[in-house]
Amino acid sequence: MPRRISRRIIEETYRMIKNYHERHLAVHGVKLPILENAAGYTKDALTLIYLAQGYPNTRAVSKEELTQFIRSYYPNTNDVQQARHLGAQKGWFIAAGSRDNRDVHLERGEYQLVSLERPYPAFHGHRAAEAAGWEELKAAYGYRCATCGSREGEYHLHWPNTRTRLQMAHMNPLRGLVPGNIIPQCQKCNRADRNNWVYDERGRVIKVANAQVIKRSDREVRWRAYQILYREFNGRNPNE
Ligand SMILES: [Zn+2]
């Protein structure tokens, strides 16, 4: 009979889930349950943690086993629905027996966490939730391009014949389109050329992302850059 997991394992597993969530699931609108509230660990968090043990080598867990586990925290629990809800409704990729045996083979009444890097395949809220995240981000910027300030749907500030469309743009083009690396930019600011630059959350260029752009700079600037790098790398021959 499954008993409580130690606080240390609970917190470690939750931290692992949180990391995967930040990197892979938040952008799809999947919500991370809070670990604790006034009553103690939340049932959603306990369920996820129980299923995520040993990730990526998870195993099938029966509803009975899961119920026993949750009961060790909430003795009055009858029938644990968390695993099903976390899957189909909330977007966590938890397969359920007899429903989606495409990825794992499960018996009826069994659950298995398939992946923390992809949302549940038939996640109905997927598009809406994704849009919700994106809508929220745009709202935070007043529906304006982070870089030039043109407003979505209105005429562009610098191209008066163009309607502004906001797009998900990387802050740092060397990183993925993941939460924390996305700003809204208009179609004019979000062009191929922008991959040369790293932007901050205010849409301003803060770094060079492509060393080739130095070639476009004036000779004095290139000379100055050469001096700086020559000093930094102690005059080392780059072809060595
Ligand atoms: Zn713009």
pLDDT tens series, the chain, 240 aa: 567 899 999 999 999 999 999 888 887 778 899 999 999 999 999 999 999 999 999 999 999 999 999 999 999 988 888 888 898 788 899 988 865 556 677 888 899 999 999 888 766 443 333 445 788 888 878 889 999 999 999 999 999 999 999 999 999 988 888 878 889 999 999 987 888 999 998 899 999 999 999 999 999 999 999 999 999 999 999 898
Q: How crowded is the C-beta side of 170, counted as CA atoms within 13 Å?
A: 15
Residue 22 CA to ligand 1 centre (angstroms): 27
- CB atoms within 5 A of ion ligand 1 belong to 145, 147-148, 186, 189
For position 126, what pLDDT does the model report?
36
Residue 117 CA to ligand 1 centre (angstroms): 32
Residue 200 CA to ligand 1 centre (angstroms): 14
Residue 149 CA to ligand 1 centre (angstroms): 6
Residue 56 CA to ligand 1 centre (angstroms): 41
Long-range contacts of 102-109 (CB under 8 A, 24+ apart): 104/60, 106/60, 107/60, 107/62, 109/62, 109/63, 109/64
Query: What whole-number distance in Å separates Cα of residue 26 and Cα of residue 32?
Result: 8
Residue 145 CA to ligand 1 centre (angstroms): 5
Break the chain into its structural domains and give their ranges: 7-115, 141-209
